[in-house]
Protein backbone atom coordinates (compact mmCIF):
# COMPACT_ATOMS: atom_id res chain seq x y z
CA UNK A 1 0.00 0.00 0.00
CA UNK A 2 1.08 3.59 -0.59
CA UNK A 3 0.72 6.23 2.12
CA UNK A 4 1.40 9.95 1.82
CA UNK A 5 3.23 12.21 4.22
CA UNK A 6 2.83 15.97 4.17
CA UNK A 7 5.39 16.24 1.40
CA UNK A 8 6.25 12.67 0.51
CA UNK A 9 4.68 9.27 -0.11
CA UNK A 10 4.81 6.20 2.17
CA UNK A 11 4.47 3.01 0.15
CA UNK A 12 3.55 -0.45 1.25
CA UNK A 13 3.01 -3.65 -0.70
CA UNK A 14 1.16 -6.66 0.65
CA UNK A 15 1.21 -10.09 -0.94
CA UNK A 16 0.39 -13.75 -0.32
CA UNK A 17 1.58 -16.87 -2.09
CA UNK A 18 -0.78 -19.66 -3.04
CA UNK A 19 1.18 -22.30 -1.11
CA UNK A 20 1.85 -21.16 2.42
CA UNK A 21 2.24 -22.46 5.95
CA UNK A 22 4.34 -19.88 7.73
CA UNK A 23 5.16 -16.21 8.14
CA UNK A 24 8.29 -14.24 8.97
CA UNK A 25 7.99 -11.01 10.99
CA UNK A 26 10.75 -8.41 10.80
CA UNK A 27 13.17 -7.77 13.69
CA UNK A 28 11.77 -5.50 16.40
CA UNK A 29 14.69 -3.38 17.65
CA UNK A 30 14.49 0.22 16.43
CA UNK A 31 15.76 3.57 17.79
CA UNK A 32 13.59 6.16 19.51
CA UNK A 33 12.41 8.92 17.19
CA UNK A 34 10.87 12.40 17.64
CA UNK A 35 7.13 12.69 18.34
CA UNK A 36 5.24 14.20 15.42
CA UNK A 37 2.69 12.92 12.95
CA UNK A 38 4.22 13.99 9.65
CA UNK A 39 7.46 15.50 8.40
CA UNK A 40 8.94 17.02 5.27
CA UNK A 41 11.94 14.78 5.98
CA UNK A 42 9.94 11.68 5.00
CA UNK A 43 8.92 8.61 6.99
CA UNK A 44 10.94 6.54 9.45
CA UNK A 45 10.37 3.23 11.24
CA UNK A 46 9.81 3.64 14.98
CA UNK A 47 8.80 0.29 16.56
CA UNK A 48 8.03 -3.22 15.28
CA UNK A 49 6.95 -6.54 16.78
CA UNK A 50 4.99 -9.67 15.95
CA UNK A 51 3.74 -13.09 17.01
CA UNK A 52 2.90 -16.43 15.37
CA UNK A 53 1.32 -19.78 16.36
CA UNK A 54 -1.77 -18.05 17.77
CA UNK A 55 -5.09 -19.94 18.13
CA UNK A 56 -7.34 -16.99 18.95
CA UNK A 57 -7.36 -17.35 22.76
CA UNK A 58 -6.89 -13.87 24.24
CA UNK A 59 -7.30 -12.13 27.62
CA UNK A 60 -10.69 -10.44 28.28
CA UNK A 61 -12.14 -11.02 24.77
CA UNK A 62 -11.84 -14.16 22.62
CA UNK A 63 -11.45 -15.14 19.87
CA UNK A 64 -8.82 -12.60 18.87
CA UNK A 65 -5.21 -12.12 17.86
CA UNK A 66 -3.34 -9.47 19.85
CA UNK A 67 0.26 -8.27 20.16
CA UNK A 68 1.86 -5.46 22.13
CA UNK A 69 4.67 -3.09 21.27
CA UNK A 70 7.04 -4.67 23.78
CA UNK A 71 9.10 -3.17 25.27
CA UNK A 72 8.55 0.38 23.95
CA UNK A 73 5.38 2.13 22.79
CA UNK A 74 5.09 4.07 19.52
CA UNK A 75 5.02 7.86 19.69
CA UNK A 76 1.89 9.99 19.60
CA UNK A 77 1.22 10.92 15.98
CA UNK A 78 2.72 7.74 14.53
CA UNK A 79 0.96 5.59 11.95
CA UNK A 80 0.55 1.91 12.86
CA UNK A 81 0.47 -0.85 10.22
CA UNK A 82 -0.82 -4.26 11.35
CA UNK A 83 -0.91 -7.35 9.15
CA UNK A 84 -2.80 -10.41 10.45
CA UNK A 85 -2.27 -13.94 9.12
CA UNK A 86 -4.33 -17.10 9.60
CA UNK A 87 -5.04 -20.51 8.11
CA UNK A 88 -8.30 -20.35 6.16
CA UNK A 89 -9.88 -18.89 3.03
CA UNK A 90 -12.47 -16.54 4.55
CA UNK A 91 -12.10 -13.19 6.30
CA UNK A 92 -12.75 -13.89 10.00
CA UNK A 93 -11.77 -10.40 11.26
CA UNK A 94 -14.79 -8.47 12.58
CA UNK A 95 -12.79 -5.40 13.60
CA UNK A 96 -9.36 -4.18 14.70
CA UNK A 97 -8.71 -1.93 17.70
CA UNK A 98 -5.94 -1.08 20.14
CA UNK A 99 -5.73 -1.67 23.87
CA UNK A 100 -3.40 -1.27 26.83
CA UNK A 101 -2.09 -4.53 28.25
CA UNK A 102 -3.36 -3.82 31.76
CA UNK A 103 -5.65 -6.20 33.67
CA UNK A 104 -8.76 -4.88 31.89
CA UNK A 105 -7.16 -4.58 28.44
CA UNK A 106 -8.44 -1.00 28.37
CA UNK A 107 -9.45 0.18 24.90
CA UNK A 108 -7.40 3.09 23.55
CA UNK A 109 -9.71 4.15 20.71
CA UNK A 110 -7.57 4.68 17.60
CA UNK A 111 -9.31 3.77 14.33
CA UNK A 112 -7.86 0.95 12.20
CA UNK A 113 -8.90 0.92 8.54
CA UNK A 114 -8.70 -2.14 6.29
CA UNK A 115 -6.24 -1.68 3.42
CA UNK A 116 -6.47 -5.15 1.85
CA UNK A 117 -7.65 -8.68 2.59
CA UNK A 118 -5.96 -11.39 0.51
CA UNK A 119 -6.51 -15.16 0.41
CA UNK A 120 -4.81 -17.88 -1.63
CA UNK A 121 -3.97 -21.54 -1.20
CA UNK A 122 -6.01 -21.90 2.01
CA UNK A 123 -4.29 -19.03 3.82
CA UNK A 124 -5.34 -15.45 4.50
CA UNK A 125 -3.81 -12.12 5.42
CA UNK A 126 -5.26 -8.67 6.07
CA UNK A 127 -3.47 -5.34 6.51
CA UNK A 128 -4.87 -2.48 8.58
CA UNK A 129 -3.68 1.11 9.05
CA UNK A 130 -4.21 3.64 11.85
CA UNK A 131 -2.88 7.19 11.49
CA UNK A 132 -2.03 9.86 14.08
CA UNK A 133 -2.37 7.44 17.01
CA UNK A 134 -3.00 8.96 20.45
CA UNK A 135 -4.26 8.27 24.01
CA UNK A 136 -1.56 5.95 25.34
CA UNK A 137 1.55 6.51 27.50
CA UNK A 138 4.45 7.99 25.51
CA UNK A 139 6.83 6.83 26.79
CA UNK A 140 5.36 3.84 28.62
CA UNK A 141 6.48 2.86 32.13
CA UNK A 142 8.85 -0.12 31.70
CA UNK A 143 8.36 -1.17 35.34
CA UNK A 144 4.70 -2.23 34.97
CA UNK A 145 4.83 -4.04 31.62
CA UNK A 146 1.81 -2.15 30.24
CA UNK A 147 2.20 -1.33 26.54
CA UNK A 148 0.03 -0.43 23.57
CA UNK A 149 -1.27 -3.52 21.75
CA UNK A 150 -3.12 -4.02 18.45
CA UNK A 151 -5.96 -6.55 18.46
CA UNK A 152 -8.10 -8.22 15.79
CA UNK A 153 -11.52 -9.36 17.04
CA UNK A 154 -12.46 -12.55 15.20
CA UNK A 155 -15.70 -14.30 14.29
CA UNK A 156 -14.16 -17.72 14.96
CA UNK A 157 -11.03 -19.32 16.40
CA UNK A 158 -8.25 -19.88 13.83
CA UNK A 159 -6.30 -23.11 13.85
CA UNK A 160 -3.14 -21.03 13.45
CA UNK A 161 -2.53 -17.31 13.08
CA UNK A 162 -0.32 -14.35 13.83
CA UNK A 163 0.31 -10.65 13.36
CA UNK A 164 3.11 -8.23 12.57
CA UNK A 165 2.83 -4.65 13.86
CA UNK A 166 4.97 -1.62 13.13
CA UNK A 167 4.78 2.12 13.81
CA UNK A 168 6.03 4.85 11.49
CA UNK A 169 6.88 8.48 12.15
CA UNK A 170 6.24 10.97 9.36
CA UNK A 171 2.98 9.65 7.85
CA UNK A 172 0.06 11.95 7.01
CA UNK A 173 -2.47 12.47 9.82
CA UNK A 174 -5.61 10.99 8.20
CA UNK A 175 -6.31 7.66 6.52
CA UNK A 176 -7.89 9.36 3.50
CA UNK A 177 -4.88 11.63 3.10
CA UNK A 178 -2.31 8.94 3.85
CA UNK A 179 -3.42 6.07 1.61
CA UNK A 180 -2.29 6.60 -1.98
CA UNK A 181 -1.78 3.15 -3.48
CA UNK A 182 -1.56 -0.52 -2.60
CA UNK A 183 -1.03 -3.77 -4.49
CA UNK A 184 -0.96 -7.50 -3.89
CA UNK A 185 -0.30 -10.67 -5.86
CA UNK A 186 -0.35 -14.42 -5.29
CA UNK A 187 0.90 -17.50 -7.06
CA UNK A 188 2.85 -20.74 -6.77
CA UNK A 189 5.82 -22.41 -8.42
CA UNK A 190 7.86 -25.58 -8.04
CA UNK A 191 11.19 -23.88 -8.77
CA UNK A 192 13.09 -20.85 -7.49
CA UNK A 193 11.06 -17.81 -8.55
CA UNK A 194 10.81 -14.07 -8.01
CA UNK A 195 7.59 -12.98 -6.28
CA UNK A 196 6.33 -9.43 -6.68
CA UNK A 197 3.26 -7.25 -7.14
CA UNK A 198 2.79 -4.70 -9.88
CA UNK A 199 5.19 -1.72 -9.82
CA UNK A 200 4.45 1.08 -7.34
CA UNK A 201 5.96 4.56 -7.62
CA UNK A 202 7.71 5.92 -4.51
CA UNK A 203 8.65 9.58 -4.10
CA UNK A 204 11.89 10.78 -2.56
CA UNK A 205 11.76 10.25 1.20
CA UNK A 206 9.16 7.50 0.94
CA UNK A 207 9.08 4.20 2.85
CA UNK A 208 8.16 0.91 1.15
CA UNK A 209 6.33 -1.62 3.34
CA UNK A 210 6.07 -5.18 2.06
CA UNK A 211 4.77 -8.35 3.70
CA UNK A 212 4.94 -11.90 2.37
CA UNK A 213 3.41 -15.16 3.52
CA UNK A 214 4.26 -18.47 1.94
CA UNK A 215 5.09 -22.14 2.26
CA UNK A 216 8.75 -21.52 1.66
CA UNK A 217 11.80 -23.72 2.12
CA UNK A 218 14.01 -20.68 1.61
CA UNK A 219 13.55 -16.92 1.26
CA UNK A 220 16.03 -14.32 -0.04
**pLDDT at position 177, please?**
78
Whether the per-residue pLDDT at 56 is higher than 80: the answer is yes
Q: Residue 177: which H helix or E strand, with range?
A: helix 175-178
**pLDDT at position 28, please?**
35
**pLDDT at position 39, please?**
62
**What is the Cα–Cα distance from 57 to 65, expressed in whole angstroms?**
7
Give the pTM.
0.82
Backbone angles phi, psi at 78, to 5 degrees: -65, 160
**Each residue's pLDDT tens digit, 143-182:** 999 999 999 999 999 999 999 999 999 888 888 878 777 8
Instruction: Identify which of 44, 22, 25, 29 has the alpha carbon closest to the alpha carbon of residue 205.
Output: 44
Q: Residue 54: which H helix or E strand, with range?
A: strand 44-54
**What is the Cα–Cα distance from 220 to 216, expressed in whole angstroms?**
10
Q: Is 32 exposed, middle or buried (0-12, 13-18, 19+ CB in 10 A)?
A: exposed
Q: What are the Cα distances from residue 20, in Å, to 62, 64, 125, 161, 207?
A: 25, 21, 11, 12, 26
Mean pLDDT of the chain: 81
CB 178 within 8 A of CB 172: yes
Q: Which range scores top for mean pLDDT: 25-29, 118-122, 144-148, 208-212?
A: 144-148
Q: Provide the percentage of residues in the chain whose pLDDT is more than 70.
A: 76
**Each residue's pLDDT tens digit, 172-218:** 888 887 877 788 888 877 888 787 888 877 666 666 778 887 766 66
213 or 93: which leads in pLDDT: 93
Whether the per-residue pLDDT at 54 is higher than 90: the answer is yes
**pLDDT at position 11, please?**
31
Amino acid sequence: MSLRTAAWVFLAISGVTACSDGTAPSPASQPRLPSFSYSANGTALNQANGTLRENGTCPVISPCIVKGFNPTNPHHGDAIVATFYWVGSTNIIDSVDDVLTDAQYTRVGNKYNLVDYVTAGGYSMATYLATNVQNFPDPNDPSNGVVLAVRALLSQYPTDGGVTISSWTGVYDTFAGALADHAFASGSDTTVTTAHTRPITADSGAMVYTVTMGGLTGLD
